[in-house]
């Protein structure tokens, strides 16, 4: 079983004895699942601290919505949203990750205390990203990505989704390492919902072992995503709204932890914090 090989460690980050919980703070007016709630700096910092109190091990701060169809925010606005929240949380001792596709935002976020750069484009959106991450010497999440949100649904075309995601992630990992990022600082992510339909997302969750075979710690970010709405809707009914998908999210968190994921990224921390602790207890009893 993959957990026997361990979930891997990321040089430069704390080590947890179970799948870690990454809580999400989206400082955006329009993210698909929690847009608008934490748009103000003070509210966003308070929310991040609440997520830590609920059991989050690290907090991912983002200022640009990546929901399908979203148009891009400009850099000045992204900086305005993200940097004070990163600084506020880091100054409280929180392990902070920055969710950005922009080198300039990553650079300033690291200066403000972020210790992980989470780029949903895996360095493809901004040619400056890899040099900035390499220079800063911070860990980097390489997510599987095929293009910006505006057009990503039309790119969800695969013959073998698991094989193609593994192959494309392998190429990105090679490019990122070639660009000077320490291989021991890489985290990989299948990019659920990014240029993938519900069946493709489920196939990836079913084959997390194939992603673990890439040899780097694995981050799984299923929280509130469309494929869960699709599963819950069943035969033809309307999917429940994003906020009613947290129990389903926790189910994926337990499955991911059991499959050896290094971390799961979620909006509602408490149910997932419970799920990964149960998974750890079961693992310990095996
Ligand atoms: N998904 C979203 C945002 N950031 N980061 C990683 N590494 N992986 C993901 O799948 C991912 C991400 C979109 O979800 P949100 O708008 O609810 O934050």
Angle in degrees, CA 243, 80, 272, rounded to 5? 30
* Backbone phi and psi for residue 131, each to the nearest 5 degrees, phi listed first: -60, -40
* Domain-located, residue 45: yes
- Per-residue pLDDT, averaged over 219-231, amounts to 96
Confidence of residue 4 (pLDDT cuts 50, 70, 90): very low
How far does the centroid of ligand 1 lie from the alpha carbon of residue 286, in Å?
32
- Per-residue pLDDT, averaged over 272-277, amounts to 98
Residue of the CA atom closest to atom 6 of ligand 1:
120
Residue of the CA atom closest to atom 11 of ligand 1:
221
The proportion of the chain whose per-residue pLDDT surpasses 90, expressed as a percent, equals: 83
Q: Relative to the CA of 118, which ligand 1 atom is closest?
A: 7
How far does the centroid of ligand 1 lie from the alpha carbon of residue 59, in Å?
12
The size of the chain, in residues, is: 286
* Domain-located, residue 12: no
CATH number at residue 70: 3.20.20.20
Please determine, for residue 176, whether its predicted confidence score (pLDDT) is greater than 50. Answer: yes
Report how many domains make up the chain: 1
Which comes out higher in pLDDT, residue 30 or 176? 176
* Domain-located, residue 7: no
pLDDT confidence of residue 38: 61
Least confident of 60-69, 201-210, 273-282: 60-69
pTM (2 decimals)?
0.94
Using CA atoms, how far apart are residues 65 and 52, in angstroms rounded to an integer? Answer: 22
Q: Which residues are catalytic?
A: 225, 265
* Domain-located, residue 163: yes
pLDDT confidence of residue 154: 79
pLDDT tens-digit profile of 135-162? Answer: 999 999 999 998 776 666 778 889 999 9
Q: Which domain holds residue 217?
A: 18-222+252-285
* Domain-located, residue 42: yes
Among 38, 120, 125, 141, the mutation site with the greatest number of ligand 1 atoms within 8 A of its Cβ is: 120
* Domain-located, residue 237: no
pLDDT confidence of residue 153: 74
Using CA atoms, how far apart are residues 119 and 172, in angstroms rounded to an integer? Answer: 12
pLDDT confidence of residue 1: 39
Query: Pocket around ligand 1: residues whose beta carbon is below 6 Å from it?
Result: 24, 26, 31-33, 65-67, 99, 118, 120, 141, 143, 189, 191-192, 219, 221, 223, 265
- Per-residue pLDDT, averaged over 201-224, amounts to 97
* Domain-located, residue 235: no
Confidence of residue 34 (pLDDT cuts 50, 70, 90): low
Give the strand order in the sheet containing 116-119: 186-189, 140-143, 116-119, 96-99, 58-62, 20-26, 263-266, 219-220
* Domain-located, residue 101: yes
């Amino acid at each position: 079983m993959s957990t026997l090989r361990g979930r891997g460690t990321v040089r430069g980050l704390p080590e947890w004895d179970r799948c870690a919980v990454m809580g999400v703070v989206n400082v955006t007016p329009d993210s698909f699942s929690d847009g608008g709630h934490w748009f103000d700096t003070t509210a966003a910092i308070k929310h991040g601290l609440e997520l830590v109190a609920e059991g989050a091990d690290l907090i991912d701060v983002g200022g640009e919505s990546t929901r399908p169809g979203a148009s891009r925010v400009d850099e000045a606005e992204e900086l305005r949203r993200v940097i004070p929240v990163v600084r506020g949380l880091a100054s409280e001792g929180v392990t902070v990750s920055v969710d950005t596709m922009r080198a300039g935002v990553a650079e300033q976020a690291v200066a403000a205390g972020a210790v992980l750069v989470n780029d949903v484009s895996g360095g493809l959106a901004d040619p400056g990203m890899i040099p900035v991450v390499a220079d800063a010497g911070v860990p980097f999440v390489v997510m599987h990505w095929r293009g910006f949100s505006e057009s990503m649904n039309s790119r969800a075309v695969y013959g073998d989704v698991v094989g193609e995601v593994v192959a494309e992630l392998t190429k990105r990992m090679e490019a990122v390492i070639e660009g000077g990022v320490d291989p021991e600082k890489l985290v990989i992510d299948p990019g659920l919902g990014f240029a993938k339909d519900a069946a493709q997302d489920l196939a990836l969750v079913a084959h997390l072992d194939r992603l673990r075979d890439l040899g780097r710690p694995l981050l799984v970010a299923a929280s509130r995503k469309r494929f869960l709405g699709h599963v819950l809707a069943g035969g033809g009914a309307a999917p429940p709204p994003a906020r009613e998908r947290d129990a389903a999210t926790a189910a994926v968190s337990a499955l991911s932890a059991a499959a050896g994921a290094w971390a799961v990224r979620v909006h509602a921390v408490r149910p997932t914090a419970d799920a990964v602790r149960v998974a750890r207890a079961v693992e310990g009893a095996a």
